[in-house]
Structure 1
Amino acid sequence: MPTLGMNLTLLIGTTTPRPAPTLLSELVDSLEVTYRDQGRSGFQIVFRVGRAEPADAQDDPLLRGATEQLLQPFNRVIVTLSLNSQPRVLMDGIVTYHEFAPSLEPGESIFTITGEDVGVMMDLEEKSVEHLELDDKSIVEKILNSYTKYGLTPKLSTPQWTDRPLKTDRVPVQLSTDLDYIQELANRHGFVFYIKPGPSTGSNEAYWGPPNRKASPGKPLTFNMGSFTNLESINFQYDALAVMKVQGEVQDRKTNQTQSVSVSSSRRSPLSAEPALTTQIYTRTAQFRQTARLATQATAYAQAMVDQSVDAAITATGELDTLTYGDFLQHGGTVDLRGVGQTYDGRYYINEVTHQIQQGAYKQRFRMTREGSGSTIARVTV
């Protein structure tokens, strides 16, 4: 599916996909891929089909024979894209849903496949599993190592609080799918968990750690600056109720002493000059209600609650044309923004990117966040 100086390559099959037949590739009408740093990432491919030959009387050629087998649910789909001769794995996912919309007009029927990133294979079976004498990071690594056939390479961070309990003390128990449990452990520490395709075909990076707000920024976004403008639209939302402090008490499970828990600042790397948590007149206060924790453990978990609350005090959403921008936005990374004014210019963390590709057009929609207004940088690198 070539379009505007770009070239898409479609691979499809079982565990190890192969290049799609020419017939299948030529029928691709549009492609949408959404990647998020939390929650589910997914894709949708639309094929424009129709019966044109006498042999098609029984069924559409896409829905029978070898081609039909390739589109079966739980087959794996990999899409690579070359922009300016630089190849990149755009998507690596699993088919989970079909939709067929026949038309009375020849060649105007629509067949759509929808799917999720390879993490969906971690969400198929609810389990009851004991993780003896393992801390949270080791549990995540253990789970991910059982999905190596999907090319998962763990990239894991060490939490602020690490607890490797003896089996005579307590046993961590998983009562959910592998994906849900990994996400539960991520939330406990103020982490995110997502799967990023690439860098090579068939490989995926499984990231479990804090939002990477220290990542080197990608190509800057520019608005209302004449020929330098590469944004088609952008919008900002300030949520004064997002940020919160945490207070409470915990009875230390080893000493039985009741100790106070109080966290009023964030440990996130600052992206704004005026963080909402410290500059707002009022902020919400949440009660720490967990029990059976060590005092230091309780403070670490309360810190995670505060850190997560500040992540989206300001949210920016927008759209750009990929050829005008000349690059890809990377979810889980950072980008600098200029041209909208001192309040909202500066560096942001990218939470979500949606790629929309069809013949003659390639757009990227995005959502990015930070903890407050005002820029921490005086200039951007172009």
Structure 2
Amino acid sequence: MLEGVHLTLMIGPAVPVPAPRVVMDALRSISVTSGKDRSGFQVTFAVGRDSPLLNVMLPAGYFDPITTRVLIIATVNGFPHVLMDGLVTQQELSPSNEPGQSTLSITGEDLSLAMDLVETVIPYPQVPLIARIRLILAKYAALGCIPAVIPTIIPVTEVATSGFETQTTTDRAYLKSLARRAGYVFYVEPGPAPGTSVAYFGPDIRVPIPQSALNIDMDAATNVESLSFSLDGLAKKLTVVTILDPVTGKVPIPIPIPNVNIFKPPLGLRPTAPARLEFNSDYAKLKPDKAAEKILGLLMNNAEAITASGSLDVVRYGRPLRSRALVGVRGAGLAYDGLYYVDTVTHKIKPGEYKQSFTLSRDGLISNTPKVVP
């Protein structure tokens, strides 16, 4: 592709294998989006009237949805980065009257899609939360999914005689509901080794080691093509929940829940103050342990007031920017310089070109660190 950049595309049922030469010659573009919730991809090929992709591979089921697994690896400066390990969900053929303009596109999602295909009804009497999660994830070990499960901060004990929980949705929907209830996140991250993925259930902890800084308006040191910032004064809110005292069960006690996440430390010296105030009385009907679990979930699912979006050239930046990690920003001025959380990253790969678009976020103005990693 480019000097210092090598692309590996693997396609196949269950265990993907390197794509044949005819497929790589027809490759036009690859787009991979990695976000906080799930990841997706789209691969586009140029096809003609006599193309083997159109006349042989497509009828033979080479690009069939669900059964076809796609693995995309970008090797930058000798270091491999697994961008996607997922399943095809859709194929689209766009014939054209113009020579060389007909395309075949395959679209898909990460391996968490396999957890969202079958709805099940499974009772869990006296089964702890962590055991439930591990039982569910064990079914996907054949796909290379490695579970990384962190116990909840406030354990909730249920007595079978007073009722027990029953799963009535798909595995992915159920795991996400459990994570949301505990203030955690659940996602499947491809890599680090090709053919493996990490199924993470735990708090939204961003990688503490910052990536190389994004430089804007710094002459020869500039490595970002575009970067813009936005501060939303309505993004944050203060929630007041009402619980009943544990002794009499009748006296209402209001508890203000600040917009602070203990697992995402503040990155700005001037946090944006909450502009909205909400009241919630549903917690008064819950047991103390379940109410505490939901309150903790509110603390961990707060919003960020400052967002940024931009694009960069990977060759100039030196490595692919990763989502769910920290990155520094330089050259934007005193108010917006400093560390940010990388929320989403979209890889855009074409012959002779590798670019990324990204979104960042943090909670306030003015960096709380004197210097970021260059």
Q: TM-score, normalised by structure 2?
A: 0.92
Quick one: distance in 2 between partners of 1:209 and 1:261?
Answer: 28
Could you tell me which of 274, 285, 291 is aligned with 2:270?
A: 274
Matched, 1:230 2:223: yes
Matches within 5 A, 1:36-51: 36-38=35-37, 40-51=38-49
Matching residue of 2:33: 34
* Native 8 Å contact 1:35 1:41 kept in 2: yes
What amino acid is the match of 1:357? Answer: I
What amino acid is the match of 1:224? Answer: D
Would the alpha carbon gap of residues 231 and 127 (structure 1) be closer, same or farther in structure 2, given more than 3 Å must change? same
Give the drift of 1:190. Answer: 2.1
| Structure 2 unaligned blocks of 5 or more | none
Matches within 5 A, 1:130-209: 130-209=123-202
Quick one: distance in 1 between partners of 2:230 and 2:163?
Answer: 44
3-state SS, counterpart of residue 297 of structure 2: helix
Quick one: distance in 2 between partners of 1:345 and 1:197?
Answer: 30
Quick one: distance in 2 between partners of 1:253 and 1:325?
Answer: 56
Matched, 1:359 2:348: no
Would the alpha carbon gap of residues 251 and 356 (structure 1) be closer, same or farther in structure 2, given more than 3 Å must change? same
Give the drift of 1:368. Answer: 1.6
* Native 8 Å contact 1:316 1:368 kept in 2: yes
Matching residue of 2:83: 90
Deviation per CA, 1:253-309: give whole Å up to 9, x if none.
997455525133322422222222xx45x3322414246422243133123224322
| Structure 1 unaligned blocks of 5 or more | none
3-state SS, counterpart of residue 152 of structure 2: coil
* Native 8 Å contact 2:156 2:289 kept in 1: no
* Native 8 Å contact 1:36 1:194 kept in 2: no
Matching residue of 1:61: 52
Would the alpha carbon gap of residues 82 and 214 (structure 1) be closer, same or farther in structure 2, given more than 3 Å must change? closer
Quick one: distance in 2 between partners of 1:220 and 1:286?
Answer: 40
Deviation per CA, 1:119-155: give whole Å up to 9, x if none.
1111112222222223433322221111111111112
Matched, 1:303 2:285: no
* Native 8 Å contact 1:319 1:366 kept in 2: yes
What amino acid is the match of 1:45? Answer: V
What amino acid is the match of 2:20? Answer: P
Give the drift of 1:205. Answer: 0.9
Matched, 1:244 2:237: yes
Quick one: distance in 2 between partners of 1:254 and 1:181?
Answer: 34
* Native 8 Å contact 2:154 2:292 kept in 1: no
Quick one: distance in 2 between partners of 1:302 and 1:165?
Answer: 18
Could you tell me which of 109, 115, 119 is aligned with 1:116?
A: 109
Would the alpha carbon gap of residues 299 and 246 (structure 1) be closer, same or farther in structure 2, given more than 3 Å must change? farther
Quick one: distance in 1 between partners of 2:145 and 2:207?
Answer: 23
Quick one: distance in 1 between partners of 2:174 and 2:110?
Answer: 17
What amino acid is the match of 1:62? Answer: L
What amino acid is the match of 2:163? Answer: R
Quick one: distance in 1 between partners of 2:65 and 2:82?
Answer: 21
Matched, 1:77 2:77: no
Quick one: distance in 1 between partners of 2:299 and 2:180?
Answer: 11
Quick one: distance in 1 between partners of 2:95 and 2:155?
Answer: 56
Percent sequence identity over aligned pairs:
35
3-state SS, counterpart of residue 37 of structure 1: coil
Give the drift of 1:204. Answer: 0.2
Matching residue of 1:327: 319
- Higher mean C-alpha displacement, 70-79 vs 187-196: 187-196
Matching residue of 1:316: 308
Q: Give the aligned length.
A: 369
RMSD: 2.1
* Native 8 Å contact 1:261 1:299 kept in 2: no
- Higher mean C-alpha displacement, 183-192 vs 135-144: 135-144
3-state SS, counterpart of residue 220 of structure 1: strand
Quick one: distance in 2 between partners of 1:354 and 1:304?
Answer: 28
Would the alpha carbon gap of residues 12 and 258 (structure 1) be closer, same or farther in structure 2, given more than 3 Å must change? farther
Deviation per CA, 1:285-341: give whole Å up to 9, x if none.
24142464222431331232243223x221111111111111122211111111111
Give the drift of 1:5. Answer: 3.2
Give the drift of 1:16. Answer: 0.7
* Native 8 Å contact 2:267 2:339 kept in 1: yes
Matching residue of 2:203: 210
